[in-house]
Amino acid sequence: MASRCYFSVLLHAFVFATVATLGFSQLTPNYYDYSCPNALSTIKSVVEAEVQKENRIGASLLRLHFHDCFVNGCDGSILLDPSPTIDSEKNARPNIQSVRGFEVVDEIKQAVDQACGKSVVSCADILAIVARDSVVALGGPTWEVQLGRRDSTTASREAANANIPAPFFSLSELITNFKNHGLDEKDLVVLSGGHTIGYARCINFKAHIYNDSNIDPNFAQYLKYICPINGGDQNLAPLDSTAANFDVSYYSNLVNKNGLLHSDQELFNGDSTDSLVQQYSYDNQAFFQDFANSIIKMGNIQPLTGDQGEVRVNCRKVNY
């Protein structure tokens, strides 16, 4: 009898511990409600002010979240500066001279820590929140950001080079890349819609405008003035015709063979993703709803939670 009671106590303790662990490790939109109730409003106010000063920063902040999640999960590793122990992802091919907005993240981190009275909000969560707030500030949809990520204490330039989708990828390479991160073809098409805001460097679309046939000749000719065959690699062109507005122009551009990047136009090139691109080109509501769902899904890629990682005091370096 005593042994059965002892077993029952152990079983209940085990079940409680398991439930508690699972509950603690899951992301939730209410994570900071008690520890820092002003966290989200503070972040939103800084993002809105920065986007108002320069709308291009919104695309940069969104891209930071994407490039962070596609390496070793959404863990803030992209924010770490080079050090003797950190092989910074900032120096990876997809990021160097391309990804920006780090100073704005520093400003947000300082503001939110001041609002909280201490370092409570992780840098990884800041990236997820500013991605949402940037999209909203540029006219896009909103969603409940899942929170509770902790920050990585490591980074990997090699992993960034290997895992962030390249602008020269074919459709099959894009599908495989997204699948490797637990994302499907629909997620690929939807999240690529993030290219409805922002700009790309000439070096990333030069081969597309000079070598590819699936591009409108007039559009290619226009881009050749911006991006000469020799030189001009850092010159910028908008990713779609309304680069300061989060809308469906990206998809209507693809339908008209006006995709800036080779990888963009691959989404509408006579293959399995054509129908979804076609739908989004005229269905703003469907795109907004699906984008919100897919970016939440992306934000759940291998987050550090519970006692994993840390909450960095400075997003650029690990705590010591």
User: What are the extents of the domains in the chain?
Assistant: 39-164, 171-295
167 is in an annotated binding site: no
**Amino acid identity for residue 106 in this structure:** D
How far is 95 from 188, CA to CA, in rounded Å? 20
Q: Which amino acid is at 63?
A: R
Q: Residue 173 has which token pair?
A: 């390479």
Annotated binding-site residue? 165: yes
CATH architecture of 171-295: Orthogonal Bundle (1.10)
Residues serving a catalytic function are 67
- Kindly report the CATH number that applies to the domain delimited by 39-164: 1.10.520.10
233 annotated as belonging to a binding site for a ligand: no
Mind listing the pLDDT tens digit of every residue in the chain (320 residues)? 444 443 333 334 333 333 333 333 489 999 999 999 999 999 999 999 999 999 899 999 999 999 999 999 999 999 999 999 999 999 999 999 889 999 999 999 999 999 999 999 999 999 999 999 999 999 999 999 999 999 999 999 999 999 999 999 999 999 999 999 999 999 999 999 999 999 999 999 999 999 999 999 999 999 999 999 999 999 999 999 999 999 999 999 999 999 999 999 999 999 999 999 999 999 999 999 999 999 999 999 999 999 999 999 999 999 98
Instruction: Please state, in angstroms and rounded to a whole number, the distance separating the CA atoms of residues 161 and 88.
Output: 11
pTM, two decimal places: 0.91
